[in-house]
Structure 1
Amino acid sequence: MAKTHEIKVERRADEGKGASRRLRRAGSVPAIVYGGELKPVSIQINHNEVWTASQHDWFYSSILDLSLNGDVQKVLLRDMQRHPFKQQIMHLDFQRVNDRETLRTAVPLHFLNQETSPAGKSSEVVITHELNEVVVECLPADLPEFIEVDLGNMVQGDVIHLSELKLPKGVEIPELKLGKEHDTAVVIAKFAKVEEEPEAEGGVAEVPAAKVAKDESQK
């Protein structure tokens, strides 16, 4: 069963750009909760608390419990606006979830055992992560915080596709329902090309002019 994380919020009465600026100066983040059978609600969240939460993968892919004086609503983060250069969250959008309704959201991938794999140990192989997250469908209770990808047996030439990911029970990748051409590569172990330094014309390596002059003076 997926873990949940509680985020304490407060209702905000004032709306508009001016009110949002005042909230941010006071150390809060304006946000909105929408979806389901209830009307959208404007809320505010302590910036330091939500900033700390935003440093973890679960904040983006897990079911969150928004607690308003004990009234808890289960939501998913749907949008986050950040300041262009400050470490500041400007606005958040949360969508209510229904325990009985399938949801679709992106889940991060965690890559394991890359350095200890045959490909990871070889200086002639480069392992590239083509995807860092994957969109899944499932009931809220089945939503994983992340999906592990074991690279321990990778050798040069190996490719891990979406269809090879080990998904928790009740979790599906909707992209795979569209056909084999949508079975995207997740990880590729490929030969690392080493560019050779070009030789001078005639196959003779060039010698720096300063070295030539020094050699001539010592004759």
Structure 2
Amino acid sequence: MSEHTIEATGRSVEGKGASRRLRHAASIPAIVYGGKAAPQPIQLDHEQIWLANKHEWFYSSILNLDIDGKVEPVLLRDMQRHPYKQLIMHLDFQRVDAKQAIKVAVPLHFLNVDKSPAGKASDVVVTHELNEVNISCLPKDLPEFIEVDLAELTLGQTVHLSELKLPKGVEIPELKLGKEHDVAVAVARQGRVEVEADSAEGATEAEAAAAEVPAAKVEKDEE
């Protein structure tokens, strides 16, 4: 698991006015909570966070939050963005206890679809039904992503949640809720069925319309 450090500074002044002044100064107000310590208001450099937020690890990895030289492991739990500006308004971080399991949504990386029988067929469409999956594990076992190898995928085949190969110590809590929660992750479908059906329907309508034209002409001629 890669390590990522985020620099932060403690802040003592809170409130909407203080947060507004921070944003004008290109900083982001944030809060760190959880564990045995009290919630701590902090501020972060907007440019640093803006660059970090473009990477998957920012959302699914344990971050080393360096607050005035004191480092503690945290998870990003919430991010508030401006509705139309490229501006992050606020962040929530949760402290991580090495001995307690955490629940995190991690991204799925789909591999080898182009090498699969389904991927090589021109009339087959492979769809990704999920882009991420919620897992539970100890902090030390947290993966940045989970690989889904589709090398053997064939037409009509569905890869379900229960078929994912999870790293050691990682589980999917949703699967404990029953078979109906074993949802599809990837599906290989016939790609031209709907197109051909639409074409056939369109041709039938065109033939019917063409058949009506001579009849109308005949009636007019008879008048």
Same fold judged by TM-score > 0.5?
yes
Residue of structure 2 in register with 1:37 after alignment = 36
- Retained in 1: the 8 A contact 2:81–2:88? yes
Confirm whether residue 83 of structure 1 aligns to residue 82 of structure 2: yes
Residue of structure 2 in register with 1:212 after alignment = none
Confirm whether residue 158 of structure 1 aligns to residue 157 of structure 2: yes
Confirm whether residue 196 of structure 1 aligns to residue 199 of structure 2: yes
Q: Provide the rounded CA distance (Å) in 2 between the counterparts of 1:68 and 1:144.
A: 25
Paired residue type of 1:6: T
What does 1:92-111 correspond to in 2, within 5 Å? 92-111=91-110
Deviation readout 1:2-52 (Å, 9 max, x if unpaired): 322100000111111111111011011100000000000000000000111
Paired residue type of 2:207: E
Residue of structure 2 in register with 1:74 after alignment = 73
Residue of structure 2 in register with 1:138 after alignment = 137
Q: Provide the rounded CA distance (Å) in 1 between the counterparts of 2:160 and 2:174.
A: 12
Shift of 1:123: 2.3
Give TM-score scaled by structure 2 length: 0.88
SS at match of 2:168: coil
Residue of structure 1 in register with 2:127 after alignment = 128
Deviation readout 1:120-150 (Å, 9 max, x if unpaired): 2222111111111000000000000000111
- Retained in 1: the 8 A contact 2:106–2:145? yes
Q: Provide the rounded CA distance (Å) in 1 between the counterparts of 2:163 and 2:127.
A: 16
Q: Provide the rounded CA distance (Å) in 1 between the counterparts of 2:207 and 2:124.
A: 32
Paired residue type of 1:179: G
Shift of 1:88: 1.0
SS at match of 2:38: coil
Q: Provide the rounded CA distance (Å) in 1 between the counterparts of 2:141 and 2:87.
A: 32
Paired residue type of 1:201: E
Q: In the comparison of the two structures, how many residue pairs are matched?
A: 205
Give TM-score scaled by structure 1 length: 0.89
Percent identity at matched positions? 62
Larger % of helix: which?
A: 2
Paired residue type of 1:196: S
Which sections of structure 1, spanning at least 5 residues, go unmatched? 206-219
After TM superposition, where is structure 1 displaced by more than 6 Å over at least 4 residues in a row? none
Q: Provide the rounded CA distance (Å) in 1 between the counterparts of 2:30 and 2:124.
A: 46
Residue of structure 2 in register with 1:24 after alignment = 23
Residue of structure 2 in register with 1:183 after alignment = 182
Shift of 1:203: 8.2
Could you tell which deviates more after superposition, 121-130 or 8-17? 121-130
Shift of 1:204: 5.2
Deviation readout 1:47-103 (Å, 9 max, x if unpaired): 000111100000001000100132111100000001111111110000001000011
- Retained in 1: the 8 A contact 2:5–2:63? yes
Q: CA RMSD in A?
A: 1.6
- Retained in 1: the 8 A contact 2:161–2:185? yes
Which sections of structure 2, spanning at least 5 residues, go unmatched? 212-223
- Retained in 1: the 8 A contact 2:10–2:68? no
SS at match of 1:49: helix
Could you tell which deviates more after superposition, 115-124 or 183-192? 115-124
SS at match of 2:92: strand
